[in-house]
Chains A and B, each alone.
Chain A
């Protein structure tokens, strides 16, 4: 299993980015996926999740209405569209693999993360 995130960078407050996570080594469409973030020097925060088919999406209250999770199973890629960014969204964003296609109760594989910095 290999997960590789990309798309992070420096963005001004109010700006947008699209994060990507390229997956390999497993049947991508058969597993739910999530994004988990970690602010500098801080703990982990679950951000969003999506079912294997992409038909069901879930969000933490802190990002609801600003972030959109999606996936392209033909490309084995997970996405996170992040809009209306704020300083407290500054974090390393990890993609993480769930254990089955319809549920996420733990994450058995993680990518190395992509850093999003929100600053003027």
Chain B
């Protein structure tokens, strides 16, 4: 149950697009189409942004999108806005009803 690998931080400017990567193995990210992404603002609970690799929950902006290739999943945020500045975590099903999170990525510069 090793944590998934995410960049510690990414920077962007309002209106730009950024992509956050999430690398695992064939035992988690590569083995299942069950990757989810969470947004967390300081002192707040995480919020689901993407599930099942690329699906968006109701109410989440279509500026957020997800994808996966092999053992790496990605979250793309387009048209960056100030309120997007937050920590982002990926999560993958890892078999046997267990899950593993990434170390988190801080989005800055907004």
Q: Which residues of A contact B (CB under 8 A)?
A: 34, 36, 43-46, 49, 56, 58, 60-62, 94, 99, 103-113
Is A104 in contact with B97, judged by CB distance below 8 angstroms?
A: yes
Is A44 in contact with B89, judged by CB distance below 8 angstroms?
A: yes
Q: Which A residues touch B91, using CB under 8 A?
A: 44, 46, 106-107
Bound form: Cα–Cα A111–B100 in Å: 19
Q: Which of B12-20, B43-51, B68-76, B77-85 contacts A (4 or more CB under 8 A)?
A: B43-51
Q: How many residues of B contact A (CB 8 A)?
A: 27
Q: Which residues of B contact A (CB under 8 A)?
A: 1, 3, 32, 34, 36, 38, 40, 44-48, 51-52, 57, 89, 91, 93, 96-104
List 7 A–B pairs whose Cβ atoms lie within 8 Å, in order of A's numbering: A49-B99, A56-B97, A60-B98, A62-B1, A105-B36, A106-B48, A106-B91
Shortest CB distance A2–B (Å): 12
Bound form: Cα–Cα A48–B1 in Å: 13
Q: Which 9 A-B pairs have the closest CB atoms?
A: A106-B36, A105-B34, A106-B51, A110-B45, A43-B104, A58-B97, A46-B99, A44-B101, A43-B103
Bound form: Cα–Cα A61–B104 in Å: 20
Q: Which A residues touch B96, using CB under 8 A?
A: 58
Q: Specify which of A34, A44, A105, A108 is in contact with B93 (CB 8 Å cutoff).
A: A105
Is B46 in contact with A45, judged by CB distance below 8 angstroms?
A: no
Is A43 in contact with B36, judged by CB distance below 8 angstroms?
A: no
Bound form: Cα–Cα A77–B48 in Å: 22
Shortest CB distance A1–B (Å): 12
